[in-house]
Amino acid sequence: MKIYTKTGDQGTTALFGGTRVPKHHIRIDAYGTVDELNSYIGLIRDQEIDDHFKKILLDIQNNLFVIGSILATDPDRSSLKSGKERLNIEKIREEDISILEQEIDSMNSSLPQMTHFILPGGHTTVSYCHITRCVCRRAERMTSLLNENEPVNEYVLKYLNRLSDYLFVLARKLTHELKIEEIKWTPKKT
């Protein structure tokens, strides 16, 4: 299989289903940002962290490939008017979101209560979590914008929203495990 096809040399790309769109289309921005997010998750997974977190992050990466596939599919060609599937695309399920929620609750149960915003940083791995959370929020914003124009599966939006929460709590959990001080953000008084 050749890596280059030359079909995008004029600034368009093909969605699953064959429809060609400009490379700057919001759908391309959405799944491109999910791809960027997936790469940052891989960076966190490459750090010296507990194997449990590595397993969860690997599952998240697989789910992000599913989300990318969903976003890269022309909605007009993904199903017939009868509602039957035309393209065999995996789905994000409620259970995938529940796993993130369970992980968030489990990590949160061992953390001190949060009383202030927290400044990102303190350790490289923690900083990677915060950067990844920001990329996740951008992916969520782009997917939300796409959803205004072309409906997106509701579980995709929920998953991205919950994933950013997971990444924030993971940053806090790793801060705690690494015995790094959380720096609270306190607005300066004028």
Q: In this predicted model, what pLDDT tens digit does every residue of 31-81 receive, in sequence order?
A: 999 999 999 999 999 999 999 999 999 999 999 999 999 998 877 765 533
Going from the C-alpha of 27 to that of each of 73, 112, 141, 158, 169, the distances in angstroms are: 9, 39, 12, 17, 29
DSSP structure class, residue 100: H
In a domain, 118, yes or no: yes
In this structure, is residue 149 part of a structural domain?
yes
Residue ranges of alpha helices (H) inside 3-50 are 26-45
pTM: 0.87
What ranges make up the beta strands (E) of the chain? Answer: 12-14, 20-22, 117-118, 184-185
In the predicted structure, residue 22 carries a pLDDT above the cut 60: no
Count of domains forming the chain: 1
CATH number at residue 31: 1.20.1200.10
What residues make up the domain containing 31? 22-73+92-185
The per-residue pLDDT for range 160-180, each reduced to its tens digit, is: 999 999 999 999 999 999 999
pLDDT cut 90: percent of the chain above it: 67
What mean pLDDT comes out for the span 6-25?
A: 68
Average pLDDT, the chain: 88
